[in-house]
Amino acid sequence: MLVYINGEIVPEKEAVVSVFDHGFLYGDGIYETMVAYEGVIFKLNEHLRRLYRSASLIGLTIPLKVDRLESALYETLSANVLKNAYVRLTVSRGPGPIGLNPDLCPQPTIAIMAQESKEYPELLYEKGVHLIISETKRNLKEAIDPRIKSMNFLNNILAKIEAIKRDAYEAIMLNAQDQLTEGTISNIFFVKDNVLCTPSVACGLLDGITRGTVIDLAIKENIQVKEGEFLKEDIYAANEVFITNTSLEVMPVSKVDEKTYPVGEITKRLHQAYKQEIKKSLSSRKKVP
């Protein structure tokens, strides 16, 4: 693998970061994960807008303008001879003396990694995946703004450990009011009485790019959408459930804790609509040569 780091594309063994980098020391930084299909990075503008929003919310100045960062992403794909790829863009506070003051770090670290994307087993989309409601609560939105896609992922990791221990694919976290928020790497949707429900961002969750796309597609499909405050009992009472993120797209859920669900028609419709949205994006002019 070749990695972009601070303006250079180098072999992964040479893509090193200082132990004094505040991303390493304190998790002080932001990131975005994206997927390229046939040489086109899907929803790139939306991902970059969110990246710069995250940077603004933590007082981090990204030293590259949007067009240069976009070029760097495509240069990394091209260097690795990839058309269909998982792409991660990370911007940390950068190296500096030990201490929490951001002013100690004059130059952020920018890293881009791209690796071949592997399709999820079709059986998962046919049968669905198992989720749990974790005991680990979502960080208070008043403590860490959920609009920041931060490198500090310990909250999510603790919930993921619970899922692994219970042989589940993903864990859903509740907030301090015991309302549904999101998974460790996904947003959650469920269908009740033909209404598509998903927790509101006001509950303390990241406004996922795929989440927003699915909501827009549902409206186009004349599916009623309700963003609101929901308890775990609401998802237990659902007719169908699915999760979303950039790489999973629309993944059906077969079980939440001990409650089971079929792979429903609305889930199937929205996944198909999402696939069509990807195809539309392939007409974009910006492709890997």
| Distances, alpha carbon 243 to alpha carbons 23, 69, 83, 129, 138, in Å | 29, 29, 25, 9, 17
Asked if 149 is an active-site residue, the reply is yes
Give the model's confidence band at 281: pLDDT under 50 very low, under 70 low, under 90 confident, else very high: confident
pLDDT, averaged across the chain: 96
pLDDT at residue 288, as a whole number: 57
pLDDT at 289 over 60: no
Q: Which of 88, 92, 91 is nearest to 115 (CA)?
A: 88
* Mean pLDDT score, 38-67: 96
pLDDT at 282 over 90: no
pLDDT at residue 285, as a whole number: 55
pLDDT at 149 over 90: yes
pTM across the whole model: 0.93
pLDDT at 59 over 60: yes
* Mean pLDDT score, 164-171: 98
Give the model's confidence band at 287: pLDDT under 50 very low, under 70 low, under 90 confident, else very high: low
pLDDT at residue 286, as a whole number: 58
CATH code reported for the domain at 122-278:
3.20.10.10
Domain ranges in the chain with CATH number 3.20.10.10:
122-278
111-142, pLDDT tens digit by residue?
999 999 988 999 999 999 999 999 999 999 99
Give the model's confidence band at 170: pLDDT under 50 very low, under 70 low, under 90 confident, else very high: very high
Indicate the fold that domain 2-116 takes in CATH: D-amino Acid Aminotransferase; Chain A, domain 1 (3.30.470)
pLDDT at residue 182, as a whole number: 98
Classify 114 in phi/psi space as left (phi over 0), alpha (psi -120 to 50) or beta: beta
For 199, phi and psi rounded to 5 degrees? -60, 140
Q: What is the distance between the alpha carbons of residues 188 and 171, in angstroms, rounded to a whole number?
A: 10
pLDDT at 260 over 90: yes
For 128, phi and psi rounded to 5 degrees? 90, 170
Lowest mean pLDDT among 92-96, 117-121, 166-170, 194-198: 117-121
Domain ranges in the chain with CATH number 3.30.470.10:
2-116
* Mean pLDDT score, 242-259: 97
Residue tagged active-site, from 149, 165, 192, 286:
149
Classify 266 in phi/psi space as left (phi over 0), alpha (psi -120 to 50) or beta: alpha
